[in-house]
A and B are shown apart, each in its own frame.
Chain A
Amino acid sequence: MTRFILSRLFWAVPIIILILAVNFLLVHLAPGDPVQALVGDFPAPQSYIDQVRHEFGLDQSIWVQLWRYFENLASGNLGYSFANRQPVLDLLLVRTGATLILMIPALTAASVLGVFLALLAAPRSGSVFDSGITALSLFGYSVPIFWLGQLFIILFSIHLGWLPAQGMISLRSAGTGWGYARDLIWHMVLPVFSITIFFIAIVARVARASVVGVLSEDFITTALAKGMSRRTVLWRHVLPNAMIPVVTVIGYNFGYSLTGAILVETVFAWPGLGNLFITSVGNRDYPVLQGILLFSAIMVVIANLATDFIYVILDPRVRRSYGAQNA
């Protein structure tokens, strides 16, 4: 077990290093001068431009800058946002909260609903309901998530007027406590719903295949032969076993859902990482872009590690086969 954990941790290192390398090289081989964004469009005296360049260390060689980058990262410093005049880490941490507040409910809802739908559909293989699940996952795989968000705004906010279209809280917010929470939740409905639909496609597809697989196992036949009711078999024997691949797919697709969140944030003007990303693209704010990429890579790696561990806990066979291979 310790060996497994260590090997997975060890595996995470090259991914992070690769992202760091890509990150750094890319930004510095790029056209465009960040000093331009700092100084602005109006003609500034050369001495001022040089001063700004020097202040941010942009006059040093690329290797010096790379070394500084690593040095800073090691001490938790992700750099300084030129455009926001604020440390990147602070910016990211503030925005991450807003992104997670969308992602966590959406992932939870998609996982629960996806598994539930699969449990309903799989035993009735070939039925209308089962085809419905297949259609739903095809829809989720094919639809541009940002377009779905736009459609929701057009339908639910503009035509029906049921829900707020954009933003995280109203300008005339009730302020504190319950009023604030209610306002926030009200604004969350549409973006969370968009991400949920996107993700449910992945979960339902895998869960359905997994449930179908488990249903054909001998121990299910045995349980049914013992006279156990279908419902009990489904909940007690099928569900726990079918959950293993589902957990994997949820964890491994964490990065995918982060992508969804970024696109959805743009549509709903949600002040999360996605929004920060777009503003930073416009400003050529390299450290922020680097920071978001690194941050998302770390989030994905952590999600993968967590998935590996849950997998081992859920499935003793994995643990044993791993032990046998490496003993």
Chain B
Amino acid sequence: MADQRDAVFNTNRNKDFLRGEYDYSHVERWCRNRAERLNYLGLPAWEMLDIIAWEKFLNRFTTIEREENQQHLMFLQANVQDVEHRLHSLYGEFDQILLTGRDRNGRRPEWPYDIVNLDYFGGFVYADLSRPKAIKKLISNQVDFQRSFLLIITQHLRDGDVIGEKAAFLDDLRRSLKSAVLESATRDAIDRVMDWYSDSEIPDSMRQALYMNVFLRDAGEAEHFDVECRPGILYSGTGKASMIHFVTDFTFRAGIAHKTSSRQSLLQLVDLGMLEVRNGTFAKPALIAPKLSSSDGGA
């Protein structure tokens, strides 16, 4: 079958780098650790570029598509790529399917999954909070099967702070961080770092990176997952849209009733900051967030 890639694929160098190298290495690591092919749940476009790139690490793949014509093209692509038998394509909105458990045809996801790749069209925080709720539901479904998983999330940086969610979040985070430390020097550093994040002059991408990682950590720990976050990665996607990308490990900790405390501390998480991909590789970020661990507290 001839390769369609050059003619119709909708991608760019930055996305190719993330998919083909950065994410690839994490998917490969998960496959190696699990010693078997991974079950995938995701929101790929009809080209299924991620599935094709990671195909040798994958077993079954469940895709969710809300556009009928896009789903039809996905069926075509699956046949052309000779993976149609491994495709379980659900029709509808991801959030709705997660929350109701079924797609528009009454089909269910094939829980549990080992890798979840949510390449969202749009941002993460909307007024109805359906996406955060759906992520929580996803984590809750995974815990029903006590299954660790790798979560990859990509989103547009265009929602801003629609409902004041992030401002409230930063206040909460400041309190959480302070309650976790006694040293006044560190408490001062927390104030300095949180003030920096709260500054309206600071690009929202910085706040978004911190917000998402803390959100994922909280949601995971509440369901007995040890959550290991990585820096959000800023890049310019197709159509020069600003995108942010997260790769997070959720490792289930069996035999505990209390809320899990991840090996990665909250302070370490704050210090993850953000990375940037330009021209198909990692580049020095235009702006570096202050760190709690640095002696000057990021001042």
- Whether both chains belong to one complex is answered with no
